[in-house]
């Protein structure tokens, strides 16, 4: 064939191909859920209709709002038609449960934060929604409805951790969301991390302001903008609580706060400082005293929340990596939810029944769990499909398999379809690797094998049949050279060699024997700027 004829045929083929595909052709395609449903994803907000406590609303970091009307047995998504699915807060008007507020953008500024676009309101129990402003707040972590007048609503906005913005702090509406006024603002890096209302006085609020900023290479928690503020007149005036009132000296970080419903003069604050501590007030928040610095949590940027038993001011729930409970006002804590009772770690949302404190609901990185015995046992709601996939891949089997890694929920393989009755089941899925799951690369020659990654450049070569995984993370031939891996490192299969694979640190690594050995193919591809190689956050 002549070169000219080949080019002519290629042009005709390309034109035909482009004419065959149109964006409109894809509009009729429907997504179908193929799972997995054996695990869930990060739940960030919970509220319950107190007129019918079987009606549970749950919000996910990137999965929208879900409603159960039977105590958590089945769930329905009710926010999917909105322009964002990142949820930070849910609050029901308990005097009219058809009225529901949702604040978008999760209040957990991790390196894969999901921001939102304002606050939404439903007048019909979640069937339809209206956006009610605050579009530039990025993350809304708390909503408080005035006890006596539901047209008065307070919103605690963290803002974006990635840079300065003025739409952060505390906002207030007095007309049901038609207009908003910013009533507490410190600076353009400081947002409202927590906010509680006095159950006996709806005009009294305690607010935790938090200065923080995240760069791609560093996270700073704390600064001069952080602090605890109190108002007695609905936000017209705020007073800052300082070290003279019992809080620690120096710059503070994130603060979680709680008020005892049965004795509102009892308040607690979990304070990030040079030495983190749990503080207590017995006069409604005016003066504070240190209770404990032990067993009070970790990673405040990711979780700093306290809850008090509404019937017992000395029983405190502290939710962080695990859920701990104190029976003595915070002097000592014991774990009530961990791997031992099959509750996923990393907790972000909590709800306690105001009249029956044995009824608890928890939201964590693995989904939602419910207890009806005060935390002795937990039921996992395994049918809220909000797992956060970092990457998705497929193989060439028939039916083909789908692979993916999820935030804090491992790496998995499951079928795109099954040639049997009953459809795809949880048992058709197999976990390939644990941790924060990222890329999964099936071995092209045989899908029994493949590569799976977790955070920080950890990578393994798995065998699906035996369940064995061989750890193959590259090392530098010079033991003095430290390799630097991204949280979500890069991997790619060699398109010309079945056992060939590329992997990325600051160097490009290559293996031609499925990770048994590695060679370095490049110089340092980064700027090697030591100021951008600090891997921990600090309170400054």
Q: What is the mean pLDDT of residues 387-402?
A: 95
184 and 329 within one domain: yes
pLDDT interval class at 536 (50, 70, 90): low
Examine the domain organization and report whether 351 and 394 are in the same domain.
Answer: no
Residue at a domain's end among 354, 380, 406: 380
- As a whole number of angstroms, the distance between CA 471 and CA 75 comes to 39
Residues 271 and 399 in one domain: no
Host domain of residue 403: 389-532
105, 90 in Cβ contact below 8 A? no
Q: Which two tokens stand for residue 535?
A: 């891997």
Does residue 365 carry a pLDDT above 80? yes
pLDDT above 90 covers a percentage of the chain that reads 86
8 Å CB contact between 87 and 77: no
CB 128 within 8 A of CB 122: yes
pLDDT surpasses 60 at 537: no
Contact (CB, 8 A) for 231 and 201: no
What one-character-per-residue DSSP string does 473-519 give? ----SSTTSPP---TT--EEE-TT-TT-EEEESSSEEEESSTTSS-E
Residue 539: pLDDT band by 50, 70, 90 thresholds? Answer: very low
Question: Do 374 and 397 share a domain, yes or no?
Answer: no
Question: What is the spatial distance between Cα 237 and Cα 233, in angstroms, rounded to a whole number?
Answer: 7
Indicate whether 108 belongs to any domain: no
pLDDT per position as a tens digit, 135-159: 999 999 999 999 999 999 999 999 9
**Whole-number Cα distances in Å, 142 to 44, 47, 161, 169, 194:** 11, 12, 17, 11, 6
Q: Which two tokens stand for residue 202?
A: 């709806």
Domain boundary among 380, 401, 432: 380
Residues 393 and 323 in one domain: no
Residues 338 and 434 in one domain: no
Per-residue pLDDT, 375: 96
Cite the beta strand spans of 309-437 per DSSP E: 316-319, 323-326, 334-337, 347-352, 360-364, 367-371, 379-380, 389-394, 401-406, 410-415, 430-433
Does 295 lie in the same domain as 340?
Answer: yes
Give tens-digit pLDDT for 43-75: 999 999 999 999 999 999 999 999 999 999 999
Q: Which of 314, 347, 380 is the last residue of a domain?
A: 380
Q: Are residues 273 and 372 in the same domain?
A: yes
Q: Do residues 325 and 420 share a domain?
A: no
Residue 311 belongs to some domain of the structure: yes
Domains in the chain, number: 2
Residue 211 lies in a domain: yes
- Looking at 20-34, 188-202, 316-330, which range is the least confident one? 20-34
Q: Does residue 60 belong to any structural domain of this protein?
A: no
Residues 277-304 have a mean pLDDT of 95
Instruction: Specify if 539 maps to a domain.
Output: no
Q: Are residues 397 and 362 in the same domain?
A: no
CA distance 257 to 241: 13
Range 356-385 average pLDDT: 96
Residue 111 is assigned to a structural domain of this protein: no
pLDDT score for 115: 95
- Which range among 31-45, 101-115, 235-249, 459-473 shows the weakest confidence by mean pLDDT? 31-45
For residue 193, give the CATH number of its domain. Answer: 2.130.10.10
User: What pLDDT shows up at residue 540?
Assistant: 36
Is pLDDT above 50 for 168? yes
Backbone φ and ψ for 433, nearest 5 degrees, come out as: -160, 150
The pLDDT of residue 124 is 98
As a whole number of angstroms, the distance between CA 334 and CA 101 comes to: 34
Q: 468 exposed, middle or buried (CB, 10 Å; 0-12, 13-18, 19+)?
A: exposed
Q: How confident is the model at residue 4 (pLDDT cuts 50, 70, 90)?
A: low
Is pLDDT of 180 > 50?
yes
Residue 112: the pLDDT is 86
Verdict on whether the full-model pTM lies above 0.85: yes
Q: Are residues 327 and 198 in the same domain?
A: yes
Residue with token string 């605690």 = 156
Look at residue 69 and tell me if it is in a domain.
no
d(CA 461, CA 468) in angstroms, rounded, equals 9
Asked if 271 and 336 sit in the same domain, the reply is yes
Residue 477 included in any domain: yes
């Amino acid at each position: 064939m002549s070169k000219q004829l080949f080019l002519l045929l290629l042009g005709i083929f390309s034109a035909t191909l482009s004419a065959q595909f149109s964006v409109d052709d894809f509009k009729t395609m429907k997504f179908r859920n193929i799972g997995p449903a054996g695990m869930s994803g990060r739940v960030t907000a919970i509220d319950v209709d107190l007129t019918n406590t079987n009606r549970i609303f749950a919000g996910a970091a990137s999965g929208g709002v879900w409603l159960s009307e039977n105590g958590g047995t089945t769930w329905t998504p009710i926010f999917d038609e909105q322009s964002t699915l990142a949820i930070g807060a849910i609050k029901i008007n308990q005097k009219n449960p058809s009225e529901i507020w949702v604040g978008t953008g999760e209040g957990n500024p991790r390196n894969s934060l999901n921001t939102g676009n304002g606050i939404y309101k439903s007048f019909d129990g979640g069937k339809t929604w209206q956006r009610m402003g605050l579009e530039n707040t990025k993350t809304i972590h708390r909503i408080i409805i005035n006890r006596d007048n539901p047209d008065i609503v307070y919103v605690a906005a963290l803002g974006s951790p990635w840079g300065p913005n003025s739409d952060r702090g505390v906002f207030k509406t007095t007309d049901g969301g038609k207009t908003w006024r910013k009533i507490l603002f410190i600076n353009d890096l400081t947002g409202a991390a927590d906010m509680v209302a006095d159950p006996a006085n709806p005009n009294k609020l305690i607010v935790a302001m938090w200065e923080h900023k995240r760069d791609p290479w560093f996270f700073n928690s704390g600064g001069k903008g952080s602090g605890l503020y109190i108002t007695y007149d609905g936000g017209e005036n705020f007073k800052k609580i300082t070290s003279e009132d019992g809080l620690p000296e120096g710059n503070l970080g994130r603060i979680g706060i709680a008020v005892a419903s049965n004795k509102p003069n009892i308040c607690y604050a979990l304070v990030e400082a040079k030495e983190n501590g749990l503080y207590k007030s017995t006069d409604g928040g005016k003066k504070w005293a240190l209770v404990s610095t032990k067993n009070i949590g970790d990673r405040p940027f990711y979780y700093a929340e306290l809850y008090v038993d509404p019937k017992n001011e000395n029983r405190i729930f502290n939710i962080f990596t695990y859920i701990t409970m104190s029976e003595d006002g915070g002097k000592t804590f014991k774990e009530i939810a961990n791997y031992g009772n099959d509750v996923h770690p990393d907790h972000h949302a909590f709800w306690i029944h105001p009249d029956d404190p044995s009824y608890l609901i928890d939201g964590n990185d693995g989904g939602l769990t419910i207890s009806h015995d005060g935390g002795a046992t937990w039921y996992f709601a395994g049918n809220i499909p909000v797992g956060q996939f970092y990457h998705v891949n497929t193989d060439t089997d028939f039916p083909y398999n789908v692979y993916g890694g999820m935030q804090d929920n491992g790496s998995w393989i499951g079928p795109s379809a099954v040639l049997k009755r009953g459809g795809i089941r949880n048992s058709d899925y197999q976990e390939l690797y644990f941790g924060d799951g990222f890329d999964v690369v099936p071995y092209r020659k045989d899908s029994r094998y493949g590569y799976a990654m977790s955070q920080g450049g950890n990578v393994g070569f798995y065998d699906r049949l035996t369940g064995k995984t061989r750890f193959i993370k590259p090392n530098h031939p010079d033991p003095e050279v430290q390799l630097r891996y991204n949280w979500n490192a890069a991997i790619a299969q060699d398109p010309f060699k079945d056992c060939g694979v590329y992997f990325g640190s600051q160097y490009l690594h290559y293996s031609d024997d499925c990770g048994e050995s590695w060679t370095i193919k490049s110089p340092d591809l980064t700027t090697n700027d030591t100021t951008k190689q600090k891997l921990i956050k600090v309170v400054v």
